[in-house]
Structure 1
Amino acid sequence: MKGARGYFLLVGLGLILLVNAIVLAGVAWNRQEPADSRLQLSERELSDGYGYGRRENSGIGLSLDYRWPSEEDDALYSGVSPEQMAVLGFWLPAERDEVSIRRYRRQQERDALLVLELDGPAYRREVQLAQAAHAEAQRLQQLAPDNRDLQRAARQAQERLLHEQHAASRLLVVDVGVDSEALRARYADRQRYAIVRAHVRPFAHRRERSGVEQGASQSRWQWQLGGHASSSGLARIHLPQRLHRLFDSLPRGGAYAQQEVERHTRLFTVELVFGRRLEPWIVDLQARTP
């Protein structure tokens, strides 16, 4: 009996060592040159979600903050488009009724690749949309200077514009696919575009159709189809131990911090590298002045 327990103990230890060796080999292979991309990011794109109450010797993980381009119409959701869902292999219903929508929603999630663009045309479009909304809010306020609702709307539009210009993430999803070589051929700048792994699952939402009067023959509701994308590997990117002391001493806040969380945000720049397996790691961190 004792011999059997010793045997199983040795087998268990061997499996643990084998798994660790495989993991370490994967990490080493991922970090071999040439890297797939190198991005220079700031606290706008990397947030410290574990900074409060952290003990000095515990690990530090930074979360990569990326977003989808805003919709110009009244759509309630921006994400993977129906056309992109078809490219990923999802079935799209020709007729959008309750039965077909249930079938669409029941499809299993699929692996996909997201293309993230840093401080490029997609981000400049977000700034332009915020500028246009601010200008319109100001115009309406000038028509009725004493209207408190319009005053509040103009003030909120200004705050959103400042947030967009100085605090919002400049990293936006600009494409979705399954072929990394094809995506890299379209987005060749490795210091502006990163390709990351993600999981996509179907999304369907019923929204009210604009421009349809009550009682009209056309249905008042329409289905909006698309997909949700998530990338668990970007939720906690390990900060090397050698950078912990510098991270804890970073300056906070900034001249344009609008919210309490922004006034307590550490200011920094980070070189983030995506390796052969498209997995990221932090190479360097520097303090940034407000």
Structure 2
Amino acid sequence: DLFRRPFLHQVFRLVVGRHAEVSLLPRARSVRGAAPAGAETPARIALPAAPRGRAVRKWSRAHLLAAGLALIAVTNAVVLLRVAYNRSGEPESRLQLSARELGPIFGYSAGENSGVVLRLQWRVSAPLLDDALSTRRETPQWLDEAKLASLGFDVAEPLASSLRNRGIYRWKPALLVLELDGAAYRAALEGARTRLERVEALHRASPSDARLAQHVQAARHALVQEETTSSRLFVVDAGPEREPLRTKYPERSRYAIVPGRVGMRVWEHEGKRRIDASVMALVGTEVHVPLEFRAAVARMPRALTLPGHAEPSRFEVEVAFGKRLEPWILRVAERTPAR
């Protein structure tokens, strides 16, 4: 009779049932609260949550995809607006460049992009050391302490207390002036000729010196390279603002103004404090080739940019620099070589 009492009967079912507080059956689950008779089990109550979770995941993926596409669209729109603004109105400058100033040619891999890019080949007008056999160059004369101070450098900076930090270049953004086929190139050409004359004079004084003979050969090669394949595009000045530079260099078909970086270091040489400076980089030196010009650009011989190749360039590329001082191609022409 005791087992027929309702409360004992309930206790008995809780102990041996499928959802007992203390699991006795092999695959029984333990549940924190026992379910009364006739009530739905916790497992049955949780079943509708599974499709709900999948719906949440689908919702999240759809919204993430939409957000990603929107981000791509906004990014492309910003890029197109920047390009349109840069090319609006009259170009800030136009330069007639050749393969000497626009190599080497390279393209992206087929899996990424079919674009073709030309890279501006620029140099810095810096004289060689006063040594006929030296190939080292001095700091450009125009990049003196006054110029560095105008760019924001502390030219009175003392030597670093730590040897590890001595001689480290510090850089600042600047606007740089590019000169095409001007006084800087003529000076480089004259310097190559003078160097060859000096080395030949040394070799005539010591004709049996094999080392001097090698220097003569190298100097002749350098002169041919300077005359035929080396870039005629030189960085000749720098400043913090565009207008003063354009006032100083008004010829827009010879001088372009581009953004870049200038570096300065303070170091010690023979017990004396010295300052060196250099043009560290130009920003935006890559020029993308539009589809309409790719066939012509593909015929431009890459060998023109390799050292020692003495063929003059027959190609002329008109490059414009816009309001953002970024370059783009206006025209590509191939000149017929004279017979």
Q: Indicate the TM-score class for this superposition, using the shorter chain for normalisation.
A: 0.7 to 0.9
Give the corresponding residue for 1:30: 86
Q: Deviations over 1:141-180 (max 9, x none)?
A: 2223333222222221111111111111111111111110
Q: What is the aligned partner in structure 2 of residue 229 from structure 1?
A: 280
Give the structure 2 partner of residue 215 of structure 1: none
User: Once the 2 structures are TM-superposed, how far is the Cα of residue 83 of structure 1 from its aligned partner?
Assistant: 3.1
2:149 equivalent to 1:149: no
Of the three residues 98, 103, 113, the one matched with 1:47 is 103
Q: Which residue of 1 aligns with 2:17?
A: none
What is residue 279 of structure 1 aligned with on the other side?
Answer: 326
Pairs aligned (count) = 273
Contact 1:252 1:264 in 2 (8 A): no
Distance 1:102 1:228 in 2: 20
Q: How well do the aligned residues superpose, as a CA RMSD in angstroms?
A: 3.2
Residues 43 and 265 in structure 1, CA contact (< 8 A), matched pair in contact too: no
CA distance in 2 between partners of 1:187 and 1:21 (Å): 35
Q: Which has the higher contact order (CA 8 A, sep 6+)?
A: 1
What letter is aligned with 1:193?
A: Y
Cα deviation, 1:217-238, whole Å, max 9, x if unaligned, reads xx3x65343244212410x211
Secondary structure in 2 aligned to 1:136?
A: helix
- In structure 1, distance between residues paired with 2:80 and 2:137: 43
Whole-Å Cα distance in 2 between the matches of residues 52 and 142 of structure 1? 51
Residue 198 of structure 1 is matched in structure 2 by 260
Counterpart of 2:73 in structure 1 is 17
Distance in 2 (CA, whole Å) between partners of 1:100 and 1:151 is 41
Range that drifts further, 62-71 or 13-22: 13-22
**Equivalent AA in structure 2 for residue 159 of structure 1:** H
3-state SS of 2:124 partner: coil
Using structure 1 for the length normalisation, give the TM-score. Answer: 0.81
In our comparison, the structure showing a higher alpha carbon Rg is 2
In the TM superposition, residue 276 of structure 1 has moved relative to its aligned partner by 0.8
For residue 146 of structure 2, give the secondary structure of its aligned residue in structure 1.
Answer: helix
Q: Distance in 2 between matches of 1:273 and 1:197?
A: 15
Q: Distance in 1 between matches of 2:159 and 2:76?
A: 48
Structure 2 Cα separation of the partners of residues 163 and 106 of structure 1: 31
Deviation at 1:90, TM superposition (A): 1.5
- The DSSP-based 3-state class of the residue aligned with 1:233 is coil
Conservation of the 8 A alpha-carbon contact between 1:252 and 1:267: no
Q: 1:263 to 1:252 in 2, by over 3 A?
A: farther
* Contact kept? 1:253, 1:263, Cα under 8 Å: no
SS of corresponding position for 2:115? coil
What percentage of aligned pairs have identical amino acids?
35
The answer to whether the aligner puts 1:78 opposite 2:139 as a matched pair is yes
CA distance in 1, matches of 2:311, 2:104: 11
In structure 2, the partner of 1:159 is 221
User: What is the distance in 2 between the residues matched to 1:244 and 1:106?
Assistant: 39
Cα shift at 1:187: 0.3
CA shift at 1:184, angstroms? 0.3
- Please state whether the residue corresponding to 2:207 is helix, strand or coil: coil
Unaligned runs of 5+ residues in structure 1 are 210-218
Q: TM-score if structure 2 supplies the norm length?
A: 0.70
- Kindly provide the amino acid, as one letter, of the partner of residue 65 in structure 1: Q
Select between 142-151 and 264-273 the one with higher mean Cα deviation: 264-273
Distance apart, 1:265 and its partner CA: 9.7
Query: Structure 2: which 5+ residue stretches go unaligned?
Result: 1-55, 131-135
Where 1:173 maps in the other structure, the secondary structure is strand
> SS at 2:284's partner residue?
helix
Question: Counterpart in 1 of 2:154?
Answer: 91
